[in-house]
Amino acid sequence: MNINDVNRILSDTAYTRYGGSDGEKRCALYIKGECQKLGLSAAIESFEIKRSPKDASDTSLSHNVILNIKGESEETVIASAHYDSVAASHGAYDNMSGAIILLYLAERFKKAKLKRSLRLLWCGSEERGLIGSRKYCEIHEKELRSAILNINLDMLGSAYGKFVFFSCTDEASKKYFEEYFKETRIPCKVKYDIRSSDSNSFIFNDVPAVSFARYARDLSFVHTENDTRDKVSPARLIGDARIIGSFTEFILNIDTLPSFGISEEIAMKVDEKFLRYKS
């Protein structure tokens, strides 16, 4: 993937992708098509959502896109990013940027020999309350037993801004990740906290998670009609993708990994977040 590819995808997806809308379905099919161009077979998993919280009978379909890259082990790393937007926005930064990096990972690892398996998950309806990732965890409950880590991507590629890594795990894991970034000399702020993103669905279902972001200096455009393609720097996004790709490769191929855990502090924060979400 190169800068021209990023520009093309941002241009092709410059429309609103609200959960359950025709635009969201159009983008799910687009992502599946991009995987097919790479010689990979992605699946679209549809689920019913309410159009209005006031009328349970008024429903539509939202969609997750799933791509598996098999490794030697059943241990699985799930890399996720939502591709939907709020109703008034093109959502280029939040979060077509993360969705594009998942396509980068698909290209990077499609022919790689991996010790662990990789599942790429493009989540629908994140903006409506993490519905896509919640539905994924519900449908794939048994498969989550082999998931060792969720790597979530949400809001990347800002031309100016801090690159931040969230360790939504435990203190020991945080120190492990800090050592990784120190040894690789990647300038990255490591935070021990959760985000309002799909990683919370995995933590709620006992899968440890981490999350990447590059926060723009001014976030006032997020969730507005101003979140357009000019808010994403293709060169910066490619740089972020390479960092995330190297981290993912490290997790997939290192001989021995620590047992990532979820601290009581992190679990409580996620539980509080989930009280706000209604099915």
- Report the CATH number that the domain containing residue 93 is assigned in CATH: 3.40.630.10
Alpha-carbon Rg for the chain in angstroms: 17
Q: Is 94 exposed, middle or buried (0-12, 13-18, 19+ CB in 10 A)?
A: buried
169: in domain: yes
Query: Mean pLDDT for the chain?
Result: 95
How far is it, in rounded angstroms, from Cα 226 to Cα 242?
Answer: 27
67: in domain: yes
The total number of structural domains in the chain stands at: 1
Q: What is the span of the domain harbouring residue 96? A: 3-274
pTM: 0.96
235: in domain: yes
279: in domain: no
Residues with pLDDT less than 50, the chain: 279
Q: What's the pLDDT score for residue 58?
A: 82
173: in domain: yes
Per-residue model confidence as pLDDT tens digits over 122-178: 999 999 999 999 999 999 999 999 999 999 999 999 999 999 999 999 999 999 999
